[in-house]
Structure 1
Amino acid sequence: MGVHAHRRKHTTRIRIALAGRLLATSALIGFAAPLLHVQHAGAQSGEVAAARAFDIPAQSLASALNTFGRQSGLQVTLASSTSDGVTSRAVKGTLTPQQALSQLLQGTGIPFRINADRTAVIGLPDSTGTLPPDTEGALVLDAITVTAGGFAQALVEAPASITLIPREELETKPYRSLMDAVRHVEGVTMVGGDNGDISIRGMPPAGTLIMVDGRRQNSTRELNPKSGNSVEDNWMPPIGAVDRIEVVRGPMSSRYGSDAMGGVINIITRKVAEEWSGSVGADVTLQGNSRAGNAYLGDFYLTGPIVPELLGLQVWGYKTARDEDQIPGGFNESDNLNGTARLWFTPTPDHDILFEAHKSHQRYWETAGNSSTGTSDVYRDYDRESYTLAHTGRWDFGTSQFSYVYDTASRDTFTAGAPDTWMPDLANHTIDGSFVAPLGDRHTLSFGGQWRRQILDIGGMRNGQLPPLPDGTPATGQLSAEVDQWALFAEDEWKMTDTFSLTGGIRYDNNSIFSDHISPRLYGNWRPNENWAIKGGVATGFVPPTMKEYVPYIGNGQRGGATTWGNPELKPETSLNKEIGLYYDNLSNFSANITYFHTDYDDKIANTGSRCLNAPSGQPSDGNGCWSGPDGRPMSVYFNVPEAIIQGVELAGRWNIDDPFTLSGNYTYTDSKMKTDGISVYGFPLGQADGLAPVSTPRHAASLRLDWQAYETLATYVRANYRGKDNQGVNWGGGSNPMNKSAGDLLTFDVGFSWQVNDSFTLNGAVYNLTDKTNYDPDRTGSYQYIEDGRRFWLGARTTF
């Protein structure tokens, strides 16, 4: 037995034992409290009165009532002016909805009534101080989003296509990365396996902007030689710190700038609590295939006041690990350690000042004979630190937000028996400021600006085989490149009538390398009545080349032996997106929406891989007439693919069939094609890629889930997942034929449960890919495929205090 194999088995035994102890500890803590008496879900009146776990932090009343609605399962109706300027109390514990709502509204003087039809009516007193049966003049609370407009809006009124994922849903499934959280959202696709990435509406992953509480998480794609396989998906807050996740499908460059060409994923964290509280969780995933690696997670969240109403603290962290697959090209062994501390200073009720520090470390091992496809062991380390200073001000005339974020990231790569080859360091300075102000009764104006500086230090590149710098200086050792960007934006939501609003916005971006860019958008929203809404508009997006792609003295090795060098002649990628959607909600037990989108996508950045290029006049060539690069290896270049069209349909719905049963699902159709006929790059013809997709995403994708509230404290579900045959993509990386043969379609099933053992302890479990189906075939070559997990068993425990 080899040294690594022995270490791998020893590490696996330790991890299994540790996971078992964490789960057992959580169980002991949870069972220490008296078990709730389990009763079968019966008549509606009994269901409404049943006690359940509530955990609602102090916040604005509108947001608190939305959380109450999610956790109680009640439809909340609120008088239109009741919540203005009102802050709720925190509610925590096992309570009936009546008790929880009483605590939530304590001290406000606002009356309420809970009806037998699972509705709660708030803020409509009659002369006797009780609520009348007729609720005319009230509004039914919609889910709230802050990402589309930069301020709180009802989801159906937001100027974008948005999906909300509440924490309650996240708690019922493994949550080791952002991909785990959003993989079942319509229009969202996971591209790749172990080193996968998130694509929205068929756009490249680089066009997905990730934010936490509205602050951009600067991309770390510069750390990876191929500019993909980003690792920032693993640097997200743990589930205990998350309130919800907002997924915006479609360009948001007019507000958030570059990187938002495909869409935005905004993770909204919980507010600091008025009383000390927190959670501890652990879970384990055991593979049905003995050659696949098991996975483990442990996390914690703690929050509370240091000085009541003045100084508050939030601390969270987690550790994830996965054993290495014994499959070439499979999942690497990995360890991920992540920690964050936030200090909140509230000098007055209208001003919040945040200090935040974050640190994380990731390590990946791929060893020969296991997950590595080569003959050497490879180790990759990623480290990231970030520091944030932010201020929110609530003024008589509007709300201001300001933040400064400094973050650094680095990657070290070690290959056994070879010198270090790729050790970049990345630093970002980001200043953001915005202001939202109502102008009369019909307009909400938001405006602001941003400044960013990105610095990339390149270490170990080609071991000193870099070309000379423009002034003739030998390029050895550490090299540096940097880019400055600044932007201004303005946006106005105009309520033209009581049923129609129009949002118009524009953003000006200035890049020190690529000059300037203007991104406008226009979006309309018509609500003819309380049940129907029609939304649609036009938005633009752009993504400038990364420093690796345009700096001419940065080279990345290709598997076929070539080196791809930066091209200063590149253009930014741009897109023009048009969409229209129809939304319906009967305000009782059924809602659905359908959206059509069409995107014109120009100047996608690709590279020529290891193909033979015709050497320009005066440039060196090898014995075959192929262009030779400055390091003596075959020359490869980045280039722009002129045009592509991406279009599709998104469908989603939810139906509360009966009190115990809810059916929900979504479907996405995506069609994408590049136009490359008659185009060549240094003799490399692009015509073979004409009609292929810029990103290999499925043409059809669907998810259907049936939830059964079997008992008051036990919820179960079954889900079917369908991924159709991929739109045939292109592999620019090597070989004589650029086309990828698409893998076939795939249908899988999951079953799971969530058991609220008592008011502080929850058990979750699931069997994923019940029928053990995958598309991966090690004997199939030339196909677009990657390692997929088969049947696996997940068990998680969470204790709150």
Structure 2
Amino acid sequence: MTNGGATAMRNRGRVALVASALMMTTALAPFVLVTPAQAQQAGHNRIDGQYEFDIPAQSLTSALAQFGVQSGLQVTVDGALVRGLEGRAVTGTMRADTALEVLLGGSGLNYDVTGDGTVVIEALQTGAAADGEVLDPVRVEANAANFSDPSDAITDSFVANRSRTASKTDTPVLDDSAAVSVVTEKEMETRNVQDLQQAVAYTAGVQSGEYGSDVRYDYVRIRGFYQSSLGAYRDGLPSRIYNFTNSRPETYGLQQVDVLKGSTSSLFGLNGPGGLVNMTTKRPEDEASGEVFTTFGENHLRGGGDVTGPVAEDSNWTYRLTGLWQDAELSQDYSKDDRLYLAPAFTYKPKAGTELTILTSYSERDSGLGYGFPTGIETSRDAFFGEPDFNNFDTEETNLGYEFSHLITDKLEFRQNARYTHVDLNYETVYLQDTAPLGDRYAFAIYGELDRFAIDNQVQYDTAINDTFDSKTLVGIDFNRDQNREKRYDGSASPIDPYNPSYCGPSCIDLDFTSDTEITQAAYGVYAQEQLTIADDWIATVGGRFDYIQSDTDTISSGTTDERDDHKFTSRFGLTYKATNEVSVYGNYSESFQPVYSSLASRPEGVEPQEGTQYEIGVKYQPEAFDALFTAALFDLTQENVSQWNSSTSTYKQIGEINSRGLELEGKMSLDAQTNMTLAYTYLDAEIKDDVTAANIGNSPANVPEHQASAWLDYTIPGQGVFGDLTLGGGVRFVGERQRNDGNTETLGGYSLFDAAINYAVTDSVSLAVNATNLTDREYVSSNTFGSRYYGDGRTVLATLKYSW
């Protein structure tokens, strides 16, 4: 959401909040929506008239209110009938009665029209309205130009009310029997996040940036388990990393990031037990808007823009074009972070209930590599021990995908998401070895190519059974195929004095061809899920999935092939109790399934998939009085068959078992148009239950902190006269002590990092923002792995000048 529409959005949000609050407090009485436009049009607008509708899927209460605004018709309904029900999306020009039938589909409700043209919503079965009982109406006034459901203003708030990630259906966060955290576009823009690690850094249960200045990938742990290999999703489809070849996502191209915590295989297939991160790409919007910006800092220059709107007046097509260019360096000597990103997108809505969105993108990133510092070296954290001309992690990524949905009947919907991805990698590096003699260097190169195809087909059937049950049934079939080919070279480079480095160029690098390997994995999945709402207060979620995985590792250079087939059924059971309209309590059991696909020859004892189970209970509170969401979760996670390297026999063993129990507390608030706040705390009691090294049993896993916490607050001082709005923000991120290794022989100290933001609205369209991360330039060790220390990023200050319309 660009700044040009911020004021209007805030106004719409206020009106929607007032309307919702009045409706909820009169749940046993009918309501009537009347606008000034309707007062003038009474008796003129007809149920069989043609109108332009743009009503997203949302609560039926708000959907009916929008229907009344957009058609100019007066709508009356018993509030008890619609409480807890969901209205379907209605988009396009159509008769009002057609739109109303779509809107009420699957709700168990019907409508009648009185002699004066009032639309009366009534139950299909007998009820108060059918018996002729008339209750005192509640009259809610709204301006047709400003009214909008709060979910429409999600990008102008830190709080997301709904998410498709936890259940693959459009479900309120309050109703889901799982812990899901949503980072909205508004939050990402306010903090000016530069990568996915920064986007999720203020999320409970998440540990990000484990390898500090290493910028090859986004390193994320969820509930103590490393999720970056399998747990990255884009628009609901996986973006798995099989070896080295992969590209980092551009966060400027995202409108939302969802973190689903816990075992998720019953819906998403092969995955680790900790959870997943689902990134939602920016999509075309019906209202024209845009922005252009430039960001500058020390050795940092960035420019970009984002425009969206209808292709032409009265067109069924809308578009969005997002672009970014960057020429930058990181703090480490001889580093770089150059980017080019271009993402055209189009949405076609030929009629109500049918929608096709085409999502494409091209991304080019030229990066250096962050390095670990071997034990015994005490020097600047920005020191460079490689070769400037052989220090590349360059990727080129192309994506072509689409999302299609079609409402077959008022109760049955078909959806299909698909994407093809191609990635090229050029990875070249020289680094210090972590043992004596000090100064000896290794050389290493990977030239990779990745082709990925993913498709997910879903059928959703919504219906009401009597007056007691509401059923939402989901059945899906998905297919994913990844083919990753990499040529590897290993060698050495001339020794270097780490305290007085002198570089010798490519001529002193000696590389030998090591291997040519192709990893191909095809995954077939069939899943089903039932969400059954009982008497409006209980929501039972039951799901199951069967996966069949074919994994082939072809070592082309040696002519050997490792083939493996895995299959697994995973399940999920969840129950939510809506104690009030604001409070829900839930519990769930879920499972994870993570096949092992590589290095099969070194596993003589046989290979089994790594399996996980989770038990979780939690409570969610979403107050009606203000825009906020508070959550608490207690969980117990166990993963078995964990693969571990046995150095004494040079083979893998699968006797590892890790248990992670903990507590997560999180709050997100947009208290008014001026104040946003996030709070998060995580307690983790992680323990190694079984290990190839018996002495490790009972220890804490490496790099998993027992305590983490974060807080962010920003406040806008309204402008006066010639002075515009001034927003001041700041945050703190705390990571507690961790163990350096599974043997727990060394403890890494905890650290606190401070961030800050200032944004000044020069005019309604022009803003100037300054964002700082690690404001105090704290020097800290983010991890100490493989015999090397990895330092976290130092202070970064960036200024952004933006023009929006």
TM-score if structure 1 supplies the norm length? Answer: 0.70
Q: Which amino acid aligns with 2:599?
A: Y
Q: Which amino acid aligns with 1:794?
A: L
Displacement after TM superposition at 1:349 (Å): 2.9
Helix, strand or coil at the partner of 1:156: coil
Structure 2 partner of 1:746: 751
Q: Which amino acid aligns with 1:262?
A: G
Give the Cα separation in 2 of the matches to 1:321 and 1:445.
49
Displacement after TM superposition at 1:673 (Å): 1.4
Structure 1 partner of 2:140: 131
Give the Cα separation in 2 of the matches to 1:659 and 1:390.
33
Q: Which amino acid aligns with 1:743?
A: L
Helix, strand or coil at the partner of 1:773: coil
Give the Cα separation in 1 of the matches to 2:320 and 2:150.
33
Match of 2:454 among 408, 412, 430: 430
Moved more, 194-203 or 786-795: 786-795
Instruction: Kindly indicate whether residue 269 of structure 2 is the aligned counterpart of residue 257 of structure 1.
Output: yes
Structure 1 residues 561-620: Cα deviation after superposition (integer angstroms, max 9, x where no partner) = xxxx68893332221011111223443257533211110111223435xx4x34xxxxxx
Structure 1 residues 715-763: Cα deviation after superposition (integer angstroms, max 9, x where no partner) = 322323221112x2537xxxxxx65633211123333233333332333
Is the Cα contact below 8 Å between 1:235 and 1:338 reproduced in 2? no
Q: What is the 5 A alignment of 1:192-271? A: 192-195=211-214, 196-206=218-228, 209-216=231-238, 218-223=239-244, 232=247, 234-238=248-252, 242-259=254-271, 261-271=273-283
Displacement after TM superposition at 1:320 (Å): 3.7
In structure 2, relative to structure 1, the CA distance for the partners of 1:336 and 1:601 (3 Å cut) is: same
Instruction: Kindly indicate whether residue 599 of structure 2 is the aligned counterpart of residue 550 of structure 1.
Output: yes
Give the Cα separation in 2 of the matches to 1:297 and 1:167.
19
Kindly report structure 1 stretches of 4+ aligned residues shifted beyond 6 Å.
70-75, 79-83, 101-104, 122-129, 139-142, 367-370, 416-420, 565-568, 655-659, 780-784
Give the Cα separation in 2 of the matches to 1:104 and 1:756.
35
Structure 1 partner of 2:498: none
Helix, strand or coil at the partner of 1:498: coil
Structure 1 partner of 2:323: 317
Structure 2 partner of 1:698: 705
Give the Cα separation in 2 of the matches to 1:774 and 1:150.
42
In structure 2, relative to structure 1, the CA distance for the partners of 1:364 and 1:415 (3 Å cut) is: same
Structure 1 partner of 2:477: 449
In structure 2, relative to structure 1, the CA distance for the partners of 1:428 and 1:665 (3 Å cut) is: same
Is the Cα contact below 8 Å between 2:192 and 2:771 reproduced in 1? no
More strand by share: 2
Structure 1 partner of 2:356: 353
Structure 2 partner of 1:530: 581
Is the Cα contact below 8 Å between 1:483 and 1:511 reproduced in 2? yes
Helix, strand or coil at the partner of 2:213: coil
Give the Cα separation in 2 of the matches to 1:260 and 1:110.
51
Structure 1 residues 773-799: Cα deviation after superposition (integer angstroms, max 9, x where no partner) = 232499x99987422233332322322
In structure 2, relative to structure 1, the CA distance for the partners of 1:185 and 1:439 (3 Å cut) is: same
Q: What is the 5 A alignment of 1:76-87? A: 76-77=20-21, 87=53
Displacement after TM superposition at 1:654 (Å): 5.2
Give the Cα separation in 2 of the matches to 1:429 and 1:602.
29
Displacement after TM superposition at 1:255 (Å): 0.6
In structure 2, relative to structure 1, the CA distance for the partners of 1:205 and 1:400 (3 Å cut) is: same
Structure 2 partner of 1:171: 189
Structure 1 residues 106-147: Cα deviation after superposition (integer angstroms, max 9, x where no partner) = 4454689xxxxxxxxx999998994399xxxxx998811111
Structure 2 partner of 1:21: none
Instruction: Kindly indicate whether residue 404 of structure 2 is the aligned counterpart of residue 395 of structure 1.
Output: no
Give the Cα separation in 1 of the matches to 2:412 and 2:17.
33
Instruction: Kindly indicate whether residue 714 of structure 2 is the aligned counterpart of residue 707 of structure 1.
Output: yes
Structure 1 partner of 2:731: 719
Q: Which amino acid aligns with 2:140?
A: L
Helix, strand or coil at the partner of 2:187: helix
Displacement after TM superposition at 1:257 (Å): 1.0
Match of 2:656 among 629, 635, 642: 642
Q: Which amino acid aligns with 1:705?
A: W
Structure 2 partner of 1:506: 544
Is the Cα contact below 8 Å between 1:422 and 1:461 reproduced in 2? yes
Instruction: Kindly indicate whether residue 179 of structure 2 is the aligned counterpart of residue 145 of structure 1.
Output: no
In structure 2, relative to structure 1, the CA distance for the partners of 1:393 and 1:774 (3 Å cut) is: same
Give the Cα separation in 2 of the matches to 1:568 and 1:362.
41
Is the Cα contact below 8 Å between 1:207 and 1:263 reproduced in 2? no
In structure 2, relative to structure 1, the CA distance for the partners of 1:792 and 1:157 (3 Å cut) is: same
Structure 1 partner of 2:129: none
Count of matched residue pairs: 635
Helix, strand or coil at the partner of 1:54: helix
In structure 2, relative to structure 1, the CA distance for the partners of 1:194 and 1:486 (3 Å cut) is: same
Helix, strand or coil at the partner of 2:243: helix
Helix, strand or coil at the partner of 2:368: strand
Give the Cα separation in 1 of the matches to 2:141 and 2:15.
25
Q: What is the 5 A alignment of 1:22-33? A: none
Displacement after TM superposition at 1:252 (Å): 1.6
In structure 2, relative to structure 1, the CA distance for the partners of 1:454 and 1:747 (3 Å cut) is: closer
Displacement after TM superposition at 1:658 (Å): 9.0
Q: Which amino acid aligns with 1:346?
A: K
In structure 2, relative to structure 1, the CA distance for the partners of 1:350 and 1:403 (3 Å cut) is: same
Instruction: Kindly indicate whether residue 8 of structure 2 is the aligned counterpart of residue 54 of structure 1.
Output: yes
Give the Cα separation in 1 of the matches to 2:228 and 2:486.
21
Instruction: Kindly indicate whether residue 72 of structure 2 is the aligned counterpart of residue 88 of structure 1.
Output: no
Structure 1 residues 620-657: Cα deviation after superposition (integer angstroms, max 9, x where no partner) = xxxxxxxxxxxxxxxx4444342111111001235788
Is the Cα contact below 8 Å between 2:165 and 2:278 reproduced in 1? yes
Q: What is the 5 A alignment of 1:65-84? A: 68-69=12-13, 76-77=20-21
Is the Cα contact below 8 Å between 1:450 and 1:488 reproduced in 2? yes
In structure 2, relative to structure 1, the CA distance for the partners of 1:161 and 1:184 (3 Å cut) is: same
Give the Cα separation in 2 of the matches to 1:281 and 1:362.
20
Instruction: Kindly indicate whether residue 359 of structure 2 is the aligned counterpart of residue 340 of structure 1.
Output: no
Displacement after TM superposition at 1:660 (Å): 5.8
Give the Cα separation in 2 of the matches to 1:587 and 1:256.
33
Q: Which amino acid aligns with 1:157?
A: D
Instruction: Kindly indicate whether residue 797 of structure 2 is the aligned counterpart of residue 797 of structure 1.
Output: no
Match of 1:775 among 775, 780, 789: 780
Displacement after TM superposition at 1:503 (Å): 0.1
Is the Cα contact below 8 Å between 1:75 and 1:140 reproduced in 2? no
Match of 1:518 among 569, 572, 580: 569
In structure 2, relative to structure 1, the CA distance for the partners of 1:537 and 1:795 (3 Å cut) is: same
Give the Cα separation in 2 of the matches to 1:412 and 1:566.
30
Helix, strand or coil at the partner of 1:168: helix
Give the Cα separation in 2 of the matches to 1:781 and 1:267.
28
Is the Cα contact below 8 Å between 1:222 and 1:426 reproduced in 2? no
Moved more, 354-363 or 507-516: 354-363
- Percent sequence identity is 17
Give the Cα separation in 2 of the matches to 1:659 and 1:454.
45
Give the Cα separation in 1 of the matches to 2:757 and 2:120.
40
Helix, strand or coil at the partner of 1:53: helix
Match of 2:640 among 602, 607, 610: 602
TM-score if structure 2 supplies the norm length? Answer: 0.70
Match of 2:686 among 629, 647, 672: 672
Displacement after TM superposition at 1:526 (Å): 0.6
Is the Cα contact below 8 Å between 2:740 and 2:785 reproduced in 1? no
Give the Cα separation in 2 of the matches to 1:763 and 1:320.
19
Displacement after TM superposition at 1:295 (Å): 4.1
Helix, strand or coil at the partner of 1:169: helix
Give the Cα separation in 1 of the matches to 2:386 and 2:226.
28
Unaligned ranges ≥5, structure 1: 1-28, 34-50, 57-66, 91-100, 113-121, 134-138, 225-230, 287-293, 464-474, 553-564, 615-635, 680-685, 732-737
Helix, strand or coil at the partner of 2:308: strand
Give the Cα separation in 1 of the matches to 2:425 and 2:532.
47
Displacement after TM superposition at 1:389 (Å): 3.8
Q: Which amino acid aligns with 1:499?
A: D
Is the Cα contact below 8 Å between 1:601 and 1:645 reproduced in 2? yes
In structure 2, relative to structure 1, the CA distance for the partners of 1:247 and 1:508 (3 Å cut) is: same
Displacement after TM superposition at 1:212 (Å): 3.0
Helix, strand or coil at the partner of 1:259: coil
